[in-house]
């Protein structure tokens, strides 16, 4: 039986979510994605028009099939949480059932259960502001979109996950060591995500035999990263200073994620796994 994977946070073919989807598809999984509501229209249109066909190519030459695209806004858990101005916003009004609870219900209705849950999303409205200048609401928004969203996804999806299933999220080393420029509470949000990975691994392990890990990924020029503004500098810094002096490919993170959610990693849970060309191990480079 092919495994089913729900990947939250895919809206183009540049990010880690897309690469993880491809690696899982190459390993034989059925791919369902959750796409941020404001990005849904352009993503579905681009898919339909074949704009991603080149990057849908799998190693065996076939094209990755996305079985279904679900609209999702992971900062809202249920319809009661959605403020009026969002409900009536024209980018949202055209879609329905996009809160986390409703998305899980929709997946359950369509497919019954899943095996793999991927969280590949983050948002921090004040990411370009230093932490010292971040507002309370900006900080809480970063935590809501980037950390609590993972708790919420697990809360609603664990009940429909088959025992032995696994989940994975993406984090960044700014959680542990200072990276000037990764502001707005995003460093705090990643620290929370890593800590939560340990606690959730215990709870989901005991509750449903579900594993929970996070990948601390090196820099990638994704859409989200470009919005931060310093990604080219980080990529260059990594190239110069990491043990492995090569470009970090999204596919390398995709492959590591596929390993971590597979039975090959059946004893790994609660871990933060670095996929960063080894950069995290360096103090001073020469
Ligand atoms: P990306 O732009 O491909 O992915 C981020 C996705 O989050 C987008 O598809 C966006 O639409 C979605 N999103 C934002 N707010 C959302 C919400 N409220 N509900 C649902 N979806 C929402 O960029 P990426 O860099 O591949 O990011 C994926 C993950 O990887 C993030 O957690 C990011 O922090 C992490 N990461 C990225 C890097 C990097 O250098 N790019 C490094 C380490 C970790």
Q: pLDDT digits over 61-80, tens only?
A: 999 999 999 999 999 999 99
Residue 219 CB less than 6 A away from ligand 1: yes
Q: Could you tell me what percent of the chain has a pLDDT over 90?
A: 97
Q: Which of 76, 139, 182, 274 is catalytic?
A: 182
Q: How confident is the model at residue 4 (pLDDT cuts 50, 70, 90)?
A: very high
pTM of the model: 0.98
Of 227, 238, 230, 233, the C-alpha closest to 275 is 238
- The average pLDDT across 118-145 equals 98
> Is residue 182 flagged as an active site residue?
yes
pLDDT reported for residue 67: 98
Most ligand 1 atoms within 8 A of CB, residue of 7, 122, 188 to mutate: 122
Nearest protein CA to atom 28 of ligand 1, as residue? 120
Question: What is the residue with the minimal CA distance to atom 16 of ligand 1?
Answer: 36
pLDDT band at residue 285, thresholds of 50, 70 and 90?
Answer: confident
Spatial distance between the Cα atoms of 175 and 222, rounded to a whole number of angstroms: 19
Is residue 1 predicted with pLDDT exceeding 90? no
Give residue 20's pLDDT: 98
Q: In what order do the strands lie in the sheet with 30-36?
A: 66-72, 30-36, 4-8, 114-119, 161-171, 211-217, 272-275
CA of 123 to the centre of ligand 1 (A): 7
Annotation marks residue 172 as catalytic: yes
pLDDT band at residue 89, thresholds of 50, 70 and 90? very high
Average pLDDT score over the chain: 97
- Can you tell me the ipTM of this complex? 0.99
């Amino acid at each position: 039986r092919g495994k089913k994977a729900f990947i939250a946070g895919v809206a183009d073919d540049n990010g880690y979510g897309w690469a993880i989807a491809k690696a899982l598809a190459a390993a034989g999984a059925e791919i369902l994605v959750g796409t941020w509501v404001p990005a849904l229209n352009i993503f579905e249109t681009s898919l339909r028009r074949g704009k991603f066909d080149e990057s849908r190519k799998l190693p065996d030459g076939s094209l990755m099939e996305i079985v279904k695209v679900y609209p999702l806004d992971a900062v809202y858990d249920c319809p009661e949480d959605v403020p009026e101005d969002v409900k009536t916003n024209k980018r949202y009004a055209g879609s329905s059932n996009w809160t986390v609870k409703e998305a899980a219900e929709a997946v359950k209705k369509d497919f019954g259960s899943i095996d793999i849950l991927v969280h590949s999303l983050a948002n921090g409205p004040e990411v370009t502001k230093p932490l010292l200048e971040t507002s309370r609401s900006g900080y809480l928004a970063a935590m809501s979109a980037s950390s609590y969203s993972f708790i919420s996804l697990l809360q609603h999806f664990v009940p429909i996950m088959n025992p032995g299933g696994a989940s994975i999220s993406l984090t960044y080393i700014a959680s542990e060591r200072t990276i000037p420029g990764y502001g707005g509470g995003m460093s705090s949000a990643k620290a929370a995500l890593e800590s939560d990975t340990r606690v959730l691994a215990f709870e989901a392990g005991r509750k449903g035999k579900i594993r929970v890990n996070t990948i601390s990924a090196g820099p990638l020029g994704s859409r989200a990263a470009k919005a931060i503004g310093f990604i080219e500098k980080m990529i260059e810094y990594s190239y110069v200073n990491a043990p492995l002096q090569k470009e970090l490919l999204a596919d390398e993170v995709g492959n590591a994620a596929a390993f971590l959610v597979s039975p090959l990693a059946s004893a790994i849970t609660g871990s933060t796994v670095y996929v960063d060309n080894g950069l995290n191990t360096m103090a001073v480079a020469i």
